[in-house]
Structure 1
Amino acid sequence: MPKPFNPLSLRLISALAAISFVAACGDKPAAPPQQTPEVGVVTVKPTSVPVVVELPGRVSAFLVAQIISRVDGIVLKRDFVEGSEVKAGQRLYQIDPAPYIATLNSAKATLAKAQATLVSAHAEAERYKVLVAANAISKQDYDNAVATEGSDAADVASGKAAVDTAQINLGYTSIVAPITGRIGKSAVTPGAYVQASAATVLSTVQQLDPVYVDLTQSSLAGLKLRRDIQEGRLSVGGPNAAKVKLILEDGRAYDLPGKLEFSDITVDQTTGSVTVRATFPNPQRILLPGMFVRAQIEEGVNEKAIVVPQVGVTHDQKGNPTAMVVDADGKVALRQLVTSGTEGSNWIVESGLNEGDRVIVQGTSKVNPGMAVKTVEAQMPATPASAAQ
């Protein structure tokens, strides 16, 4: 038997349906507005930076003297310690002097005989001079006496030269250091026979304080430097004002500064480079001949350089440097840069940026080209260079 109709249930169902319809037709809540990202920027302005070029090079001794025997003989003594410092005039080797002493004594005896003969010839010529004036002898006899005196005088001169030569050769038996410096290993030992004609190098003395550093610079880099100076982009204080710093093989900086001496005027045809020479003090003998080093030469000052913090420069897939700037409309734009090196924690920019450009250095990860951004001046940490200035 069916249940009786309940009007209250019908009204309840209608009310619930009306509430559901009103809820479905109501307005959806609005999404919160998107905020404009905030980025830190630095304003580009010209500044004065030194132009520093880094060149490879090698150390060479300031003075080099090869020790060679100038006479033949047996080496009796070696009077130095290999690798030690020697003074100019210090004896290094002693060659057996006995044959040269004998030669000197023989030359002295020959000279004495020639001198005695000259005395007799001179006395005879003087006597003949008186006799020929009195017509007691012929003129020919007098001329012969004068000629004999002249020949004997020549023998005396020859004898003196022989004595001098023998004395010099005897002196050569004592081989001395021609310069002050450090001596290397010895090529001979006592008992060895040396010959002057063989020109055997017995040892080598090198002056190591100061030392030369011979650097190589490409002719193209030198040409660009001279052009920048002529066009006024660089200012220099003269070749003697150039500062040179040295980087050793282990990457450490050499403590003492160097002095630029000269730049060669000839380009090596095989390498297309020129030689630049500098001198460095070397009191601790840290720099040794043949050592490979890198030198940083301050060639001038760029008075209108554009520098950008390194954190504001990225690289694209091809490795080219780029930077994001904020244009006059407050939107982000991507710039392609050309850099020429670093100065402290900054890149030196040759092209791609102009004075007054605002480069993003903080917040680059949350913006893309074309986005509108809000800019604030970035607070960059002070670098040692800027703190010194």
Structure 2
Amino acid sequence: MKRNFILASMILSILALSSCNNSQHQQAAQGPMPFPVESATKSNVTVYNEYAANIEGEQNIEIRAKVDGFVDKIYIDEGAEVKKGQMLFKLSSQTLNQQVNAAKANIEVAKAQLVSAQVEVDKITPLVQKNIISAVQLQTAESSLNAAKAQLIASQANYMNAKENLDYTFIKSPVDGIIGSIPYRIGSLVGRSEAQPLTTVSNISNVYAYFTLNEKQLLQFNRQLNGNSIASKIKELPEVELILADGSTYDHKGKIETINGMVNPRTGSISYRAIFPNPANLLRSGSSGKVKMPSIENNIIMVPQKATYEMQGKKFVYLVNKENKVQAKEVSISTSIDEKFIVQNGLNEGETFVTDGLIKLREGMLIQPMNQKHSPEGNAAFSKK
């Protein structure tokens, strides 16, 4: 029995060895597995950086009452388009009308006093010339005449001031624009001391987009521009785009107009202002978006994101050596652009790496490299995510 068992075991071992040899011979006949590879090359890339922006109208003018009074009429509604000089509000004017009438009456009184003072001077002058009366009386009369003239000027000024205050009860738009919120209603008492304005008129024919860069971004950005002064650098700046709140790109491109002269010490950032045309009034004051600004990255190496894998928070690529064996290599990534990574360290120009199928690879594995076609070198454009 024992002899039969030993014989059966020997037969099974021979069959297993034969099967293994057949498998190895079959694998050797197939050869190494093919994998797509690519050689690392340096190129200049136009990168589009996005910065959160606040949008404001070219003019945001608060409409305030210059005189105290009750709101009699409101001629516009919130969100309405208005033209320069268009009526917005009418304030009560009864008291101011009385002040205008009183000031006008004071002018007539002053004129009468002036006439009387002039008559007195005309009467005394020949008498003084004939030495009938003293010259002191003439001087007194002339002083009264001068006082009457001054009183008339003061009365006229008071009338103009009262009339101007009356005109202030008719509140008109100083610019073309869009009406903001109206916190007051008919009958509300308003005046110069009110915290809230009657409304706001926003001139949005052009809009400003305000955004910030940190110090590192500012230095990097400035090194790419020619010119020694801020004005000369601004002239070198390319046009920028605006990404709206719904993710769409605004139809019109803008231009950076100003760069703040100081870095905010609390945030370490500096503010930029770009201007965009707004012919269709699509953009409104207070809205938000993202300014998309191009910058050039010189002599950089980019790899497809699928050509990397992550382990313990680090990223790796598989390099291919002269024997067509793969070797894992850690790389340092600076940023992601579309479906590619910008490699900061770890990959040198000319080195070959596997671009796809990394899950099938193992350290030291022999592969069959399949070269991919390279995209044309030179300037390419990408957007940061």
Distance in 2 between residues matched to 1:373 and 1:197, nearest whole Å: 82
Aligned residue pair count: 353
Instruction: Name 2:304's counterpart in structure 1.
Output: 309
Distance in 1 between residues matched to 2:216 and 2:44, nearest whole Å: 24
Tell whether 2:53 aligns with 1:57. yes
Secondary structure, aligned partner of 2:347: coil
Cα distance, 1:158 vs structure 2? 0.2
Instruction: Name 1:164's counterpart in structure 2.
Output: 160
Instruction: Name 2:3's counterpart in structure 1.
Output: none
The equivalences for 1:275-314 within 5 A come to: 275-298=271-294, 300-314=295-309
Distance in 1 between residues matched to 2:196 and 2:350, nearest whole Å: 70
Distance in 2 between residues matched to 1:53 and 1:387, nearest whole Å: 11
TM-score, L = length of structure 2: 0.80
Distance in 2 between residues matched to 1:301 and 1:72, nearest whole Å: 58
Secondary structure, aligned partner of 2:198: strand
Q: Which has the larger radius of gyration?
A: 1
Cα distance, 1:329 vs structure 2? 4.6
Tell whether 2:103 aligns with 1:107. yes
Check conservation: 1:38, 1:363, Cα contact below 8 A.
no
Pair 1:347–1:203, CA change in 2 (3 A): same
Pair 1:200–1:138, CA change in 2 (3 A): farther
Pair 1:256–1:228, CA change in 2 (3 A): closer
Percent identity (aligned): 29
Structure 2 residue aligned with 1:349, among 343, 350, 353?
343
Check conservation: 1:44, 1:306, Cα contact below 8 A.
yes
Instruction: Name 1:337's counterpart in structure 2.
Output: 331
Instruction: Name 1:360's counterpart in structure 2.
Output: 354
Distance in 1 between residues matched to 2:126 and 2:309, nearest whole Å: 111
The residue type paired with residue 220 of structure 1 is K
Structure 1 residue aligned with 2:94, among 75, 94, 98?
98
Distance in 1 between residues matched to 2:263 and 2:153, nearest whole Å: 53
Tell whether 2:252 aligns with 1:247. no
Distance in 2 between residues matched to 1:127 and 1:253, nearest whole Å: 86
RMSD over equivalenced CA pairs, Å: 3.0
Instruction: Name 2:208's counterpart in structure 1.
Output: 212
Pair 1:133–1:387, CA change in 2 (3 A): closer
Instruction: Name 2:83's counterpart in structure 1.
Output: 87
Cα distance, 1:346 vs structure 2? 2.7
The equivalences for 1:71-220 within 5 A come to: 71-198=67-194, 200-220=196-216
Instruction: Name 2:5's counterpart in structure 1.
Output: none
Give the gaps of 5 or more residues in structure 1.
1-23, 231-236
- Per mean C-alpha deviation after superposition, the further-off stretch among 127-136 and 74-83 is 127-136
- Per mean C-alpha deviation after superposition, the further-off stretch among 72-81 and 332-341 is 332-341
Cα distance, 1:130 vs structure 2? 4.2
Secondary structure, aligned partner of 2:247: coil
Cα distance, 1:323 vs structure 2? 1.8
Cα distance, 1:79 vs structure 2? 0.8
Check conservation: 1:51, 1:301, Cα contact below 8 A.
yes
Distance in 2 between residues matched to 1:174 and 1:229, nearest whole Å: 52
The residue type paired with residue 353 of structure 2 is V
Pair 1:210–1:307, CA change in 2 (3 A): same
Cα distance, 1:140 vs structure 2? 1.2
- Per mean C-alpha deviation after superposition, the further-off stretch among 167-176 and 220-229 is 220-229
Cα distance, 1:91 vs structure 2? 0.8
Give the gaps of 5 or more residues in structure 2.
1-13, 227-231
The residue type paired with residue 359 of structure 1 is F
Cα distance, 1:214 vs structure 2? 1.7
Check conservation: 1:37, 1:366, Cα contact below 8 A.
no
The residue type paired with residue 348 of structure 1 is I
Secondary structure, aligned partner of 2:144: helix
Q: Deviations over 1:155-200 (max 9, x none)?
A: 0110111111011011011111122211123222223332334355
Check conservation: 1:55, 1:295, Cα contact below 8 A.
yes
Distance in 1 between residues matched to 2:281 and 2:149, nearest whole Å: 57
Instruction: Name 1:370's counterpart in structure 2.
Output: 364
Check conservation: 2:215, 2:270, Cα contact below 8 A.
yes
Tell whether 2:32 aligns with 1:36. yes
Check conservation: 1:68, 1:199, Cα contact below 8 A.
no
Cα distance, 1:244 vs structure 2? 2.1
